[in-house]
Amino acid sequence: MKAIYLVKYGKSNTAFEIREVDTPEVSDDQVLIKVEAFGINFADVMARLGLYKGAPPLPALLGYEVVGHVEKFGSNVQNIKVGDRVSAMTHFGGYAEYAVAQKEVACVIPESMSAGTAVALATQYTTAYFLSHNMANIQEGDKVLVHAAAGGVGTALVQMALHKKCLVFGTCSSSDKIDYLRKNGVHHPINYLEKDFVSEIRTILGTGGLDIIFDPVGGLSVRKGYKLLGAGGRLVSYGVSSMNRTKSILGKIRVLAQFGIYHPLQFLSNSRGMIGVNMLKIGEDNPEKVAMAMKAVIALAQNGIIKPFVGGEFKVAQMAEAHEYLESRKSMGKIVAVSYTHLTLPTIY
């Protein structure tokens, strides 16, 4: 089979190589999927830049989610059969013509569902559901701030908060994204490059505080956001994208220091909480919980309650361009790579 390997850290046009490798075998608890499309995530960009410690060593086969048809399955797999179309989380290995997934996180989907929607549900929407329902326990009427609200997870979080009839604030970095947030239903979109999100929210809420903050940015964003929480408020941190804005060691140390220092007594006295979430770790230790979240978002999508937005579709041979687009922070929604049927010759970047 063909697979895209990360062979060198750095610029996207020199980082990848398409190789011919053996099709993976499945264990008793796995399914083998002929990949129709796979997702590209900001974590992939971080891995390409050598900034993601959880990524496999070079040469690395990235990719967290795929959509396709089941070709083979292990002896312990039930309720999935050869030929079923599934959306699946892959825990790396998705950038390939065939990919394996654990049985718990491979969910059957209808043939009519678009590949982009199916891929977005596997990671972005499952992540958003787990963050909002399992960790933050989002409730009707909550006042919610979503950072990076135009991204894949941000889009999903906004839609889930709106479904719960929450008051939604969302941050982004351009006028185009402000328009996108409004179309997605955000009540108060904020361009953080032009306005201080703390001042904007304080002006709107007055002395009241936020109930939930979803933050994939990290650093100073977390410290500023924590001060916006009201009693019973919780901040959910699930990324450190601000680390990508600096290449120097001192710059990275500065970002880490900007988080601030916290003590349980602070949480107790102010009745505020802070939660950290690593979905890969959740998937390793509690795949059943991830599976429940996946099934929930598939049902929500089929009922028209959530509607993933595909902000870019690239052919496999355009991997460099796809990474550049995502890294530029101009992308909105989910970025998808279509199947290997579009690739006739091995390509080396």
pLDDT in tens, 136-190: 999 999 999 999 999 889 999 999 999 999 999 999 999 999 999 999 999 999 9
Greatest C-alpha distance within the chain: 63
CA-CA distance, 155 to 148, in Å (whole number)? 9
DSSP assignment, residue 111? T
Q: What is the pLDDT of residue 345?
A: 33
Q: What is the pLDDT of residue 160?
A: 96
Q: Residue 280's closest CA among 149, 126, 159?
A: 126
CA-CA distance, 240 to 215, in Å (whole number)? 8
Q: Can you list the residues of the chain whose pLDDT is less than 50? A: 342-349
User: For residues 65-86, b (16+ Cβ closer than 10 Å) or e, as one string?
Assistant: bbbbebebbbeebeebeeebbb
- C-alpha pair distances (Å), 179 with each of 150, 154, 165, 213: 10, 15, 21, 21
Q: What is the pLDDT of residue 346?
A: 35
Q: What is the pLDDT of residue 205?
A: 94
Q: What is the pLDDT of residue 247?
A: 63
Q: What is the pLDDT of residue 244?
A: 61
Q: Residue 192's closest CA among 208, 215, 209?
A: 215
Q: What is the pLDDT of residue 342?
A: 43
3-state helix, strand, coil in the chain (%, to 5): 40, 25, 35
Q: Residue 301's closest CA among 164, 136, 112?
A: 112
Residue 10 tokens, joined: 């750095």
pTM: 0.88
